[in-house]
Amino acid sequence: MRFGILVFPGSNCDHDCYHVIKHLLGQPADFIWHKETDLRGVDAVIIPGGFSYGDYLRTGAIAQYSPVMKSVRDFARAGGPVLGICNGFQILLEAGLLPGAMLRNRSLKFICKDVFVRVETAETPFTAAIASGRVLKLPIAHAEGNYYADPETLRELQENRQVVFRYCTKEGRISDEANPNGSLDSIAGICNRSRNVLGVMPHPERCTEGLDGNTDGRLFFQSVLEQSGIQSR
């Protein structure tokens, strides 16, 4: 399964994603520069974390108009799996590929720590191999992860089961204390209506090897491979 990893000026998790896909999962991976328009026939697109365009104006605001995003739009519309991580999630929101917007964390602080998230649905390409209700430990690193949507959009997200991850306690309980950034409904990740586009604030690519005793992030990548019938290493 060939993965395309988008690279914007200011992306800084692109090589982490590349390492996971290429060296851990043994799958081909291509970097795709934001000025390119050809996705080169990749089977999945990853929009990595970082600070595209220095977060100028708003996070993801300028990246949404990079030439490559038109191709990503077409790819997503055709049902191709797209994973946006952190800044990648912010770009997907600005591009309108996912509904809602990000606000500054309610603490105003850049938060970099491990959090727990509950998998609300296995019905996305990147959570297909994860039991619904399972609690994952994943790192977050962001200043704008305070998810917001108007009440009608939130209701639609809930009704269509598009809320994929919610911040929770270690035991899987949703509470205000377990919500690191003030996100509406403790939302840590959502998918689009056709479920092939997923945006998440935590960084699965940062906990895949067990060097820090945690391999929960690997499940994202294994899911998308298993869905395509590929046995990962």
Partner 1 sequence: MKAKVYVTLKDGILDPQGKAVQQSLHHLGYPAIKEVRLGKYIEIELSPMPLEEAKRAVAEMCRKLLANTVIENFRFEVE
Percentages helix, strand, coil for the chain, rounded to the nearest 5?
A: 25, 25, 50
86 is catalytic: yes
Residue 223 has φ and ψ, to the nearest 5°, of -60, -50
Q: Is residue 110 a contact point for partner 1 (CB under 8 A)?
A: no
The answer to whether residue 105 forms part of the interface with partner 1 (CB under 8 A) is yes
Give the nearer residue to partner 1 in terms of CB position, either 108 or 131: 108
| Distance (Å, whole) CA 204 – CA 170 | 17
Structure tokens at 149: 């949507």
What residue type is assigned to position 190 of the chain? I
Catalogue the E-assigned strands of the chain.
3-7, 29-33, 44-47, 82-85, 101-103, 111-119, 135-142, 146-148, 163-168, 187-191, 197-200
Beta bridge partners of 30: 4
Shortest CB 182 distance to partner 1, Å: 7
Which of 17, 86, 168, 207 is flagged as catalytic?
Answer: 86
Q: Segment contacting partner 1 (CB under 8 A): 40-48, 81-89, 101-109, 132-140?
A: 101-109
Residue 31 is a binding residue for partner 1 (CB under 8 A): no
Q: Nearer to partner 1 by C-beta: 45 or 143? A: 143
The answer to whether the CB of 86 falls within 8 A of the CB of 201 is: yes
Contact 52, 95 (CB under 8 A): no
CB burial class (10 A; 0-12, 13-18, 19+) of residue 170? Answer: exposed
Check residue 90 for interaction with partner 1 (CB under 8 A): no
Which residue from 28, 35, 54, 57 is in contact with partner 1, where contact means CB under 8 A? Answer: 57
Question: Which stretch, 4-12, 60-68, 71-79, 81-89, contacts partner 1 (CB under 8 A)?
Answer: 60-68
Q: Draw the binding track, 121-160, toward partner 1 (x: CB under 8 A; -: no contact).
A: -------------------------x-xxx----------
Binding flag, residue 103, partner 1 (CB under 8 A): yes
Interface ranges with partner 1 (CB under 8 A): 57-58, 61-62, 65, 94, 99-101, 103-108, 146, 148-150, 182
Q: Return the active site residues.
A: 86, 203, 205
